[in-house]
Structure 1
Amino acid sequence: MSRIREISLLLLLIPLVQSDLWTETARIPDLQQFRALCGRYQVAQAYMEDTNSRCTTFAPVDDVFTYNPDIRALDQKETLSHFVDTQVVELGLGKKWEKQTLVRSTLNSGYVYITQFENNPGNFSYFANAGRVCNHESNQWGMISGEQYLYKICTPIGHRPYPGTALSFIRDREDYIFVDRQYNNRDLNDLRDILDRVPDIALVIYGSSAWNGFHTFFLPNDKAFSKIIDRNRVDREVLLAHVTGINRVLFTWPWMYDGGVHYYPSVRFSNNIIEDNFKLKLVMRNITDRRTGRYDLYAVSEVYERYGQFRRGSVWAKIIVPNIPVQNGVVHIIDNVLGVVTNTIDQLLMDNPKCMTLMRYINTIGQIVRNYFSATGGLVTFFAPWDEGFDRIPEQIERRLLRDRIWLEQILKLHIVPAKELTSDEITNDTIVNTVDNMRQLYFIRGEWPTNNITYYVIGGGVKTAIIQENVAATNGIIHYIERVLGVPYQSLWEVLKNETRLKRSYEMLTNLQLKYTLDPWQVLTPEQNMTFFVPIDQAWEKVPPTLLNRMNDGKHWLALQYVYKRHIIQGQALMYTDLRERTYVMMNDEKVVIRRRGRYFELYWPRGNRVARIIEGGEIAGINGYMHMIDNVLIYEPDLRAPAALVNGTEGLILVFVALLFHNRRILFISLIFVIIMSSYVELVPQTNAQDESIQ
């Protein structure tokens, strides 16, 4: 393979046609916008036409201009930022570099950082600043014409470089430097004053040379420092928490568009150890608003152990101005000071524009709930729903929530875990915690898809929701921001069944049954519509003998199948997991099923069929018309195929009796009574015919 790679590289270095890049771009259909941009400026066009200039061009494809219209208005200096004054041949070698990032000069006296990421062994992706090199789509890593190289990029390359180091960027007081640029440093006065007090950090780290080592700098603005009560807490270690390790240059474009084929994350969520500090990790994250599609970029400092000025948890800082290349790395301006925690949970919630509805509900209850979030309330972990979580609640449910203060208080307390700083590194699939009411519990799921993309879910009051922004540190605990309100249903049981991946087989069976209209009523919050549904999971149906299962689903025994499902439904009562007691319940098909406790679990016991099904802990799901509990077995046996048919025949006999009475026909009346008695006896005898079927379990 290495020999083939060398031959491919040699072929790559041979000019395919004796023409310049300006002529070549005319033949390439997805570079027409970049050609038009270069045609406006004589210098850019001259470099494209000069086959003897030893330069490399990073040309955005047309999709970049389509999805980012501002790029069409780049001036000449910003256009020349796409031209490097040397030949970049490393992208076509297909091997791991000694340094992860290459530093190359541009034609406008700036720098381009060409970064290599190893997706898996032997498979690399490359970035020029924030632009992803996407020549691999055409299996051609570079186009060569004379001494020129051209690479396609499928995302914007970033802002025009600043001609100096990060320290000179902070200290620069000349306004003319920032004329015609999309950024400035007018909001960095407080950071400038603090750096003046620590000259070693200022000169060695912020003012270092790119050839000695380059970094990613997160610079808090004046608004960020105004949030800190005690300025003395911003010391040498806090300043180092805003700089990544040596030779780590991270640009912040969150998703790459690649010709409509692939989407790539540019930010690699590796553990970027800050200098030699192994207790603090600095990563970059993006959060997308699902209603608008807009995303916010964040720098996140995570602390797993308390030490010095740092508290356990994470500090999230929104990136206001991203991707400003400087001579020793890249600069991002942020709105919060990383690593420093000075606010309580109450203050963080009030300052968060996405928690306006939550604060309105908390103020409705008053100090009963709000005391938990104050400085004197002790350590708590709070799962805070964003406004979009309240927007998902149906209108009739929200009206009841506003009227019923007791229920509202219970819902808010369900989100509070007392006397604990629960961070994501402690969450597993077996994690169970108590809430402040000491009755209901929260369950967790740690999902990972794709690899290394971990999402945490919390389940409470029958509602499962994803943790969108985790481990936000406060002086009195931890906040996890979630996308739904725990304990408040927003779907009917039928909609829940439709969307639950573990209940696909039950959903497919119920699709053809009349029972689905009972599970999806037009009127909710009425006692007669409430129900408790014990649903077998997909693995439970695998325990049913295949012959019985096939006959139930052959289309001829749909009444029998519906009769079986009614055995799993309690009508008129909506029972949460905490409401379950050891007692006998009359199910929807008028049969008796016993709920009993076995250790920490509850189970269903059906005496007639001698079947047992365990209720899965954490498998409770709330609906607007009741509760759903997942079980690991099906309450079914062979005689179920005949019992509904007998009931139908008995009903036909009663109809004959009614007809006989209507027409005063004694002979028809006598025959009908005998028919009803025989069929009733048959129904009573049906359960006794399962002696040979006791092996079904």
Structure 2
Amino acid sequence: MKTNCYLWPIYFYLLLHYVCADSIEEKIRNDPDLSEFYALLEASQLANVTLQYKQVTIFAPTNSAFQMYGNLRDDPNTLVLYHMTSAPKRTDQLGTSSLSLYSELEGSPPVWITHRTGQYHDDIYVNNARLLFIQSNIMGTEKNGNEQVLHKIDEVLVPTRSQKSASKRLYNPTALEFLENYESLIQHPHRVRSFRQKVQQFNKQDIFKTEGGHTFFIPVDEGFKNERAAFIDEKIIDGHVIPKQVLFTNPTKKDAPFQTLANGDNDIRVVILFTQEQRGSTIINYVKSHTLLGDGKHTQGVVLAEIVKANIPVKNGVIHLIQKPLMVVDSTVKDLLQEKDGGILNNFVNAIKDMGMEGEEFLNKLERSHDITLFAPCNKALEGDLTLNSILRDKQRFLDILNMHLVVDNRLYVEKILKHNRNKIFQAHTLSRGKNLYFNVVDSGTNRTMSVEGGGVNATVVQSDLAATNGIIHIIDRVLGVPCTTIWDKLRTDPMLNSTFYLGNLQGFNRQLNDTKRKFTYFVPRDKAWTDARVLFPSTIKKLFMHEFAYHATRILERHLIISDVNEPPYTIERIKQLTTNRTNRSYGGFLDVELPTVRGSLKLFIEERPNNTYVINWRGEQIHVFRPNVECTNGIIHVIDLPLLQERDVRVNRATKKHVTYLLALVCVFIKLF
């Protein structure tokens, strides 16, 4: 247990409870926050006898915990006794890893203790309930003077037991007994017959009755439609068990991989991760299997399933009922989107369907195409944005945006993108002509974050590699192609535009880029462009990045910036190219420079289109590749270029100026010495 100055108030609090002679029963009775629990305690004769004569630890839910769970008071003996364990244990005696304590309930079903590292102390969980640390370690004694301990928790603990009407009563079932006797144990609309039959068919009962503490995922019958049961084999059943770890949803670290029983051989490797989505004030828990290494029968990628009933404690661990089987890939991208009304992608699916015929055609395209990668915005990404709502009503604009989210003939797994991204910025063509996606993967060993940019919008991949029969889905947190930042904010946050942003800050040039009453077209050299220019013009670039030459940096950037009236469209690459081709003569091989009105005079250039929708700027005899054209912002557009619009003679410092600067510095030094 961690110790520091923040814990002294807690230790003082514990000392007060040690010297206080009140019984635990009195302390519960006198605590207004435990009145609901005390009402159950009063109604249970067995619990009162236990409190009077036995050493116990009591995990008492607060009143707010009972309010979350509704009516659980039908059997006070069962409920209260499950919150009592047979030995007094303070928080520092609850171990440092997962362990079980046997409750006072008939059959001694365990409660599972889990530790999670907190800021000042380890958070402790009892099943899925968090122990309220500052309100715990309340000490008391029973009639014979033996110690008792009271801890407050934020959820009600519910044991897994047969109904009283069941012909065969089960008081402390294993996971196998739960599977075989589900109907008598759980009052729930779902059933688990299909998975149970598969466990029996492949003689896999042993893994569900193994002693110790394990985590079991049991898919409900609803998830076995479309003959999905035919795909279940021994490996897939093994992939539904995490051995030697008892993982309840609240204390378990999200998006952390846990090894499954399917990893016994070298042919496949499967991990399971917990994740969640917040819908309003509701948290939806999911679990996902990630087949890292597949074979002919088991497809690489992620299968995401909602947890329809979580945290069912059993004798040998915990069970989570899930929406559908893990590891089974039998749906197209279209079917996966529409499964369970879209689930985490419900808003995205509804937006597509609201387009009518155009939306239906897009969904059919997802079904007909092969080896596709779809970047699908999550529910939250399509909520409450007025600009986005306006775009959704424009069917043609929205269709163009949808096409920007789709890459065809290429399954872009995260591993594949990471491999391509090691030496250069990886980009992929989308179904929207001339619109590419640009990727960045930050891999810190334990954490890996992938971002994708399309149409000027940076989105983070929140769920990756969802596997379908004809492709994969990455779930992202933003809608691509719908600008939501100014040019200033885009420069500030884009990791490959740091150098231009730095130069623009030297004399306040950047401040104007937040103005939403004007339209800007900005040719922005990326960081690599300045690095390459340093090789061509070492002295010039060195001066530009020095504060004393800030004026020159500003003057150079002004050459890159076009300012238009707010109602005038920005200069897209296509618009500039059109202006170029409309003004032909024999100059420059048949093209005449277009004059664009910049802050400093005019910018004369012309655009050439190369294969694969790439563009080159011709300026003063230089050919400059456009790395990212048409990066949209709320107040204009950015073209990211591979060299600055710069020549060596642009920065000149005459010797007289140098002599004057040296003279002024000498005067300053003399002044400092005199005074």
Q: What is the TM-score when the length of structure 2 is the normalising length?
A: 0.70
Out of 478, 481, 488, the residue aligned to residue 475 of structure 2 is: 481
Out of 601, 605, 628, the residue aligned to residue 591 of structure 1 is: 601
Cα drift, residue 568 of structure 1: 4.2
User: Which residue number in structure 2 is paired with residue 520 of structure 1?
Assistant: 516
Q: Secondary structure at the residue paired with 2:197?
A: helix
- Relative to structure 2, which stretch is displaced further, 413-422 or 586-595? 586-595
For the 8 Å contact 2:509–2:554, the answer to whether it is kept is: no
Q: Secondary structure at the residue paired with 1:201?
A: coil
Out of 626, 637, 640, the residue aligned to residue 627 of structure 1 is: 637
Change in CA separation of 1:59 and 1:548 when aligned onto 2, cut-off 3 Å: farther
Answering whether residue 201 of structure 2 is matched by residue 197 of structure 1, we say: yes
Cα drift, residue 379 of structure 1: 0.9
Cα drift, residue 414 of structure 1: 1.9
User: Which residue number in structure 1 is paired with residue 271 of structure 2?
Assistant: 281
Cα drift, residue 570 of structure 1: 1.5
Show the 5 A alignment for 1:105-504. 105-109=103-107, 111-117=109-115, 119=117, 124-135=122-133, 137=134, 143=139, 145=141, 146-150=145-149, 152-162=151-161, 163=171, 164-172=173-181, 175=184, 178=186, 183-184=187-188, 187-198=191-202, 200-202=203-205, 204-208=206-210, 212-226=211-225, 228-245=226-243, 247-253=244-250, 269-274=256-261, 276-277=263-264, 279-289=269-279, 292-351=280-339, 352=342, 353-360=346-353, 364-365=357-358, 369-370=362-363, 372-374=365-367, 376-386=368-378, 388-391=380-383, 394-395=386-387, 403=394, 405=396, 407-428=397-418, 430=422, 432-437=426-431, 439-446=434-441, 452=446, 454-493=448-487
Residue deviations 1:30-56 (CA, integer Å, cap 9, x gap): x54465445543447626742x41211
User: Which residue number in structure 2 is paired with residue 677 of structure 1?
Assistant: none
CA distance in 2, matches of 1:64, 1:173: 26
Cα drift, residue 350 of structure 1: 2.7
CA distance in 2, matches of 1:448, 1:153: 40
Aligned residues: 585
CA distance in 1, matches of 2:596, 2:657: 24
User: Which residue number in structure 2 is paired with residue 659 of structure 1?
Assistant: none
Cα drift, residue 575 of structure 1: 5.0
Residue deviations 1:93-144 (CA, integer Å, cap 9, x gap): 58656xx433523435452343344649997543211123343x47x76745
Cα drift, residue 314 of structure 1: 0.8
Q: Secondary structure at the residue paired with 1:350?
A: helix
User: Which residue number in structure 2 is paired with residue 86 of structure 1?
Assistant: 87
CA distance in 1, matches of 2:377, 2:37: 48
User: Which residue number in structure 2 is paired with residue 679 of structure 1?
Assistant: none
Cα drift, residue 493 of structure 1: 4.1
Q: Secondary structure at the residue paired with 2:288?
A: strand
- Relative to structure 2, which stretch is displaced further, 428-437 or 493-502? 493-502
Cα drift, residue 302 of structure 1: 0.5
Letter in 2 for 1:382: L
Cα drift, residue 155 of structure 1: 3.3
For the 8 Å contact 1:159–1:323, the answer to whether it is kept is: no
Unaligned runs of 5+ in 1: 255-264, 522-527, 553-559, 641-686
Cα drift, residue 320 of structure 1: 0.9
Task: Give the alignment's Cα RMSD to 1 decimal.
Answer: 5.1
Change in CA separation of 1:49 and 1:119 when aligned onto 2, cut-off 3 Å: closer
CA distance in 1, matches of 2:192, 2:484: 46
- Relative to structure 2, which stretch is displaced further, 475-484 or 504-513? 504-513
Change in CA separation of 1:507 and 1:185 when aligned onto 2, cut-off 3 Å: farther
Q: Secondary structure at the residue paired with 1:160?
A: coil
Cα drift, residue 157 of structure 1: 4.9
Answering whether residue 52 of structure 2 is matched by residue 57 of structure 1, we say: no
Change in CA separation of 1:548 and 1:457 when aligned onto 2, cut-off 3 Å: same
Cα drift, residue 425 of structure 1: 3.5
Change in CA separation of 1:316 and 1:634 when aligned onto 2, cut-off 3 Å: same
CA distance in 1, matches of 2:465, 2:605: 39
Cα drift, residue 218 of structure 1: 1.3
Change in CA separation of 1:78 and 1:35 when aligned onto 2, cut-off 3 Å: closer
Letter in 1 for 2:155: P
CA distance in 1, matches of 2:234, 2:214: 17
Letter in 2 for 1:272: Q
Change in CA separation of 1:594 and 1:18 when aligned onto 2, cut-off 3 Å: farther
For the 8 Å contact 1:61–1:152, the answer to whether it is kept is: no
Change in CA separation of 1:627 and 1:2 when aligned onto 2, cut-off 3 Å: closer
User: Which residue number in structure 1 is paired with residue 166 of structure 2?
Assistant: none
Q: Secondary structure at the residue paired with 1:384?
A: strand
Unaligned runs of 5+ in 2: 162-170, 531-540, 578-587, 662-675
CA distance in 1, matches of 2:626, 2:104: 62
Cα drift, residue 298 of structure 1: 0.8
User: Which residue number in structure 2 is paired with residue 647 of structure 1?
Assistant: none
For the 8 Å contact 1:161–1:324, the answer to whether it is kept is: yes
For the 8 Å contact 2:373–2:407, the answer to whether it is kept is: yes
Letter in 1 for 2:317: G
Change in CA separation of 1:295 and 1:59 when aligned onto 2, cut-off 3 Å: same
Change in CA separation of 1:358 and 1:401 when aligned onto 2, cut-off 3 Å: closer
CA distance in 2, matches of 1:173, 1:384: 37
Change in CA separation of 1:317 and 1:109 when aligned onto 2, cut-off 3 Å: same
Cα drift, residue 253 of structure 1: 2.5
Q: Secondary structure at the residue paired with 2:290?
A: strand
Letter in 2 for 1:417: V
Q: Secondary structure at the residue paired with 1:389?
A: helix
